Amino acid sequence: MDMFAEVKGLVLSAIERLVAEGRLPRGLDLGGVTVEPPRDPAHGDMATNAAMVLSRPARKGPREIAEALAEALAGAPGLTSVEVAGPGFLNLRLDPARWFALLPDILARGPDCGRSTLGQGRRVNVEFVSANPTGPLHVGHTRGAVFGDALAGLLDFAGYEVTREYYINDGGAQVDVLARSAFERYREACGLEPEIAEGLYPGDYLIPVGAALREKYGDSLTDLPESAWLGEVREFATAAMMDLVREDLALLGIEMDRFFSEKSLYGTGQIEAALAALEAKDLIYEGVLEAPRGKTPEDWEAREQTLFRSTAYGDDIDRPVKKSDGGWTYFAPDIAYHYNKVERGYDELIDVLGADHGGYVKRMKAAVAALSDGRVPLDCKLCQLVKLTRDGEPFKMSKRSGNFVTLRDVLDLVGRDVTRFVMLTRKNDAPLEFDFGKVLEQSKENPVFYVQYAHARAFSVLTRAAEAGFATGDSDLAAVDLSPLGTAGELRLARALGEWPRQVEVAASNHEPHRIAFYLYELASEFHSLQHQGKLDPDMRFLREDAPETTRARLALVRATAVVISAGLGILGVTPMNEMR
RNA sequence: GGAUUGGUAGCUCAGUUGGAUAGAGCACUUGACUACGAAUCAAGGGGUCGGGGGUUCGAAUCCUCCCCAGUCCGCCA
């Protein structure tokens, strides 16, 4: 039950009445009409911009329309006051009972409260992580992983049908490097001296791969030329790395619905088919690119290449799909992969990428637009860098990998829930500072703690209530008489709860899971505030033995708060805590 | 040189797709507990929303030009 949607319905029908009475022209576009909480709570529960939006098309002054609307809305169920304000806002006040009436619904729906039908079952593919299968995941991947998984969870919650997908880059030169690196570890396992040349992967994580290779092949590969073992070792090592990646993801609580292999696109005609589809639209041609201005590579020479006409879709230059040796550039299989996703019938595609892929967005959007005839939108979410610090000082650690901080390092230090929540307390396109000291701090400054603490406090209240003999089951509380509720603090908290469905929809439609984290912080703040009032005034305490009706009503409010916090954390993939330690 | 993401209080950051007097935490100044955990709450000071121009009833938000920072820039993916 979304109170804002409900009141918006009242506003729209009031507008229709004015149209029917001839006081507003027909055929108005009502798309811009919003009903939102006003910035300043003193302005009331909700405000609508309807009069201002309609002013121009209706050719009437906004105040004039507002007056008429106020008249039409007067006496609508649940509205206690309608006032014209400022340039033409309508400030609306609701009967407080309307806000409290949301509680039984929240309690009845439990973890599903706030679920939306916004997506209407549209199919969305969220591709994220997609790290090269050449080693364990590091911090940068971790942010993308958490973001992608939370976004997927959010979209699912908002009524989309979501696929979580990982694109395995197992078709390029980097997996050959992996194979050579693993081969040195294999030689090491055979008692030979490994030669980890410049450019190979030096990390310890390949040592067990080398040992496993020896177990499988004995010493038989040591004297063979590279051409004899490269393919098999590559396959073996890639599989081992993907096992590692899956384990890392599992530690974060992430389960992919599908792993898609780049290699599977080669030799199966899929790349050719994708490019043929583009060629049929006259978007592929042989041409010569100009050297980039201002920064011409020294070995630059103009050459004819096979190019994709991405400029037709807003890119700055056309992009090569073939290398000079005739092989595909990485862009070609990427086109084929996205073609595959389009062909699988998704209504929307989302790519979660690292900031270093920023330059790649336009051409990929161009390709998807071309391949789907503009039917399938592609949203590329770039996750900026994570800056690791400890108590403000730069943090460096490299026990497993050789030169980077791994996902496991982070999880070992702070745990899954903290990692996930903190990574979501910043919007994806802003850099994130991750301070190992601060994220574990038990204080208000740390949003993870603050939100978890609110949940734990609510849980504690309910536990004590149960000990005192109150029925605290959700169905018991859903049936409670809520009329004792009505203090300013209770109303504020109930309003905050009433905003939950709206927050879900705004976050989902913007692909911004961080909004959920910020909302939870605000909700927690209202709850902490209310709880504290009980310290100052015994009458305000949740548990009042002298007033069981009031207590029961307040318990419903407390429980509803815990339910919403829990639902929100669920979207973010964070486990709510019942007690802090 | 170009692309891209940022620039909001001393610091770290939000800002409901263009709304009213721009918000929160930290820090600073005050005040409130002998436990429904004060691990918290309440109050106060603090701003040219990087800068200039434009669009309109109205701009932190949209357009344009500058300044600063991160990321990237044909045969790596």
Task: Provide the ipTM.
Answer: 0.95
Closest CA to the C1' of B25: that residue is A445
Q: Is the pLDDT of residue A454 over 80?
A: yes
Structure tokens at A135: 């080693």
A319 beta partners: A308
Q: Is the pLDDT of residue A405 over 90?
A: no
d(CA A177, C1' B75) / Å = 18
Q: How far apart are CA A565 and CA A84, in angstroms?
A: 35
What share of chain A has pLDDT > 70, as a percent? 97
A292 DSSP assignment:
P
| pLDDT score for A402 | 55
Please give the single-letter amino acid code of residue A500. Answer: W
Helix, strand and coil percent figures for chain A, each rounded to 5: 50, 15, 35
Q: Is the pLDDT of residue A396 over 80?
A: no
What share of chain A has pLDDT > 90, as a percent? 71
Mean pLDDT, rounded, for A306-322? 90
Contact A336, A274 (CB under 8 A): yes
Q: Is the pLDDT of residue A137 over 60?
A: yes
d(CA A204, C1' B43) / Å = 56
Closest CA to the C1' of B75: that residue is A323
Closest CA to the C1' of B4: that residue is A358
Instruction: List bases in chain B with any atom under 7 Å of a protein Cβ.
Output: 1-6, 12-17, 19-26, 32-33, 36-42, 57-58, 70-77
For A40, residues 6+ apart whose C-beta sits below 8 A from its C-beta are none
Question: Which nucleotide lies nearest residue A521, CA to C1'?
Answer: B24
- What digits encode the pLDDT tens for the residues A64-112? 899 999 999 988 888 999 999 888 889 999 999 999 999 999 999 999 9
d(CA A327, C1' B77) / Å = 14
- Of A236-240, A355-359, A397-401, the least confident: A397-401
Closest CA to the C1' of B57: that residue is A87
Identify the band that residue A570 occupies on the pLDDT scale cut at 50, 70 and 90.
Answer: very high
Mean pLDDT, rounded, for A31-58? 86
| pLDDT score for A85 | 86
| pLDDT score for A359 | 86
Closest CA to the C1' of B58: that residue is A87
- What digits encode the pLDDT tens for the residues A172-197? 889 999 999 999 999 999 999 998 88
Question: Which nucleotide lies nearest residue A169, CA to C1'?
Answer: B77
Closest CA to the C1' of B71: that residue is A356
d(CA A429, C1' B67) / Å = 22
pTM of the predicted structure, to 2 decimals: 0.95
Question: Which nucleotide lies nearest residue A443, CA to C1'?
Answer: B39
Contact A387, A191 (CB under 8 A): no
Q: How far apart are CA A520 and CA A114, in angstroms?
A: 13
Helices (H), A384-487: 407-414, 416-423, 447-467, 474-478
A164 beta partners: A126
d(CA A504, C1' B69) / Å = 33
Question: Which nucleotide lies nearest residue A85, CA to C1'?
Answer: B20
Helices (H), A318-395: 331-343, 361-371
The answer to whether the Cα torsion of A243, A248, A252, A256 is positive or negative is: negative
d(CA A510, C1' B63) / Å = 22
Closest CA to the C1' of B36: that residue is A461
Report the DSSP pairing between strands A348-354 and A123-127. Answer: parallel
Q: Is the pLDDT of residue A300 over 90?
A: no
